[in-house]
Amino acid sequence: MEILLWILALTFLNGFVAFIGAFSLWLKKEQIDKIIIILVALSTGALLGGGILHLMPEAVELLGAETAFNYMLVGFILFFIIERFLHWNHCHEENCEIHTFSHMILIGDGLHNFIDGLIIAASFLVNIPFGIITSLIIIAHEIPQELGDFGVLVYGGFSKNKALFYNFISQLTCVIGGVVGFFLAQTYNLVGLLLPFAAGGFIYIAASDLIPELHKEKNKKKMIGSFIFFIFGIAIIYIIKYFAGH
């Protein structure tokens, strides 16, 4: 029961990240651009570090190296398919072509957040510190995405209040995923499968969606700053992993 409460708490916390878009209402575009590039760089490092340094070692311990890396590859491929066919893209510009239909964003994000809930549940079933670290990595990645998606929804015709509300509802599918994952993973022992699957997803999102965003930056100071925060994101995961004993 304690583990389920942790899962509910962290998935609900992830849901409230949807309201991060409200902060953009009081910021100028230049300020938003500066914040987003830093958050994108930080979450890119955290996702890569989380997948390679955090999730994969645990998966290898549970499944063995060959099986764990095979599942990681399956996760990578499935995330590619999901993005390809559901227009699931983590761009951060209001005129991003792949975000043509606002409702498609909500559908894609709903599925994405449901999967996040499954991953959070599986990580807590390993142990509580592991679950907290995994949840924080997921939340760190959600912040820049939600800032971008809020802007896209408003650009696509939603009022600001409706954009926040529907974004929040979409984000709450993480809670459903957490509850489903808690019971399914215990019943069918899916923890070992979900961890490398999540690692493949983390690596895919960082490499396919976020790193290209960093490469779009041409200002030398911002390029250096984003690289520093990228390394810092990896370092955070390494430090947490070291002190958590994983």
* Interval 161-218: pLDDT, tens: 888 888 889 889 999 999 999 998 777 777 888 889 889 988 988 888 788 888 888 8
pLDDT, residue 178, reads: 95
Residue with tokens 């959070």: 120
Using the predicted structure, report yes or no on whether residue 100 has a pLDDT greater than 50. no
Give residue 237's pLDDT: 83
Contact 205, 89 (CB under 8 A): no
Which pLDDT does position 70 carry in this prediction?
95
Q: What percent of the chain has pLDDT over 90?
A: 25
pLDDT of residue 101: 46
pLDDT at 4: 93
Mean pLDDT of the chain: 81
In DSSP notation, 59-93 reads HHHHH-HHHHHHHHHHHHHHHHHHHHHHT------
Q: Is the dihedral of CA 93, 97, 101, 107 positive or negative?
A: negative
Does pLDDT of 32 surpass 80? Answer: no
Among 14-28, 90-104, 190-204, 232-246, the range scoring the smallest mean pLDDT is: 90-104
| Per-residue pLDDT at 176 | 95
- Bigger pLDDT: 110 vs 135: 135
Q: Are 89 and 99 in contact (CB under 8 A)?
A: yes
* Whole-number pLDDT of residue 221: 85
Task: Say how far apart CA 125 and CA 66 lie, in whole Å.
Answer: 22
Backbone angles phi, psi at 158, to 5 degrees: -75, 145
The 10s digit of each residue's pLDDT in 212-243 is: 888 888 888 888 988 999 999 899 888 877 77
pLDDT tens per residue across span 57-86: 989 998 999 999 999 999 999 888 877 775
- Residue 117, pLDDT score: 93
